[in-house]
Amino acid sequence: FWLKLQSSPPFALNYFKAPFSAPAAMELSAFNINHGYCEAVVRGLRSGFLGVEDYRRLGTSDTLEDMRSALEESDYGTFLQDEPSPLMVATISKKCYEKLADEFLYVKAQTVEPLATFMDFIAREKMIDNVVMIIQGVLNNKAPIELQE
């Protein structure tokens, strides 16, 4: 950055150098521009992990309704609120997987290359695992409803 002094006497310096150089300033303007938001989202999701106190409350739950009320005090509070009262284990498992999938897709939608390709690879690996699990279930003569869960 070079600035010209407007009203300087002829014997003074007409230019002076600012305390930072242009390349250094430009590096800071683009810092974390590609992955900053995605990193902030992941940090926010990480802060929602269950802590020791949450696990203690879940461990002392006697029924699934107690477990629902223990989860309501955490970041998982809203994902079971619309479910009818005779809560089933399969329902909780299904809702947990849906929440994880929704969060994964949201983070993936915010990424740029090469992270987007890496997240595609992760998703494909899970899809391959699911296909292998279905094939193993068919070979073991499991009912289709069991394979769907």
Inter-residue contact 64 to 87 (CB < 8 Å) = yes
In the block, which residue shows the tokens 């899809």? 127
Query: Model pTM greater than 0.75?
Result: no
In this prediction, residues 138-145 reach a mean pLDDT of 79
Query: Roughly how many angstroms between the first and final C-alpha of the chain, as a whole number?
Result: 63
Q: List, for residues 35-91, the tens digit of each pLDDT value.
A: 778 888 888 888 878 888 888 888 888 888 888 888 887 877 777 777 777 888 888
CA distance 59 to 56: 5
